[in-house]
Amino acid sequence: DAKTTQPPSMDCAEGRAANLPCNHSTISGNEYVYWYRQIHSQGPQYIIHGLKNNETNEMASLIITEDRKSSTLILPHATLRDTAVYYCIVRVATSGTYKYIFGTGTRLKVLA
């Protein structure tokens, strides 16, 4: 019951902005969107999250459409170390707690 859809792969030139899209058309009003990335054979690393408003931190920016049906993760100046699988996740409330529903992820390759 994946709630997100992402392109399977993308390439980006080093130094350029990487824009990773995510569709979550069935998201409910109180469900957050989270982004994590996973470098080969490691645990996922938190990047950013948001509910309605656009968010920015030292790693990335998150742009959420007004209808909340899609979002875009922006890495402003991609480096080779940003090569990873990026997961767009919906956090759902269930049985008194919250759990992540992972999408299939986008494999980002940053090219020199």
Partner 1 sequence: GAVVSQHPSWVICKSGTSVKIECRSLDFQATTMFWYRQFPKQSLMLMATSNEGSKATYEQGVEKDKFLINHASLTLSTLTVTSAHPEDSSFYICSARVDSREQFFGPGTRLTVL
What residues make contact with partner 1 under the rule CB under 8 A? 34, 36, 41-46, 49, 87, 95, 97-105
| CB distance 105 to 20 below 8 Å | no
Minimum CB–partner distance for residue 2 and partner 1 (Å): 8
Nearer to partner 1, 30 or 66 (CB): 30
Nearer to partner 1, 38 or 72 (CB): 38
Minimum CB–partner distance for residue 15 and partner 1 (Å): 28
86 CB neighbour count, 10 Å cutoff: 24
Tokens of 42: 């490691």
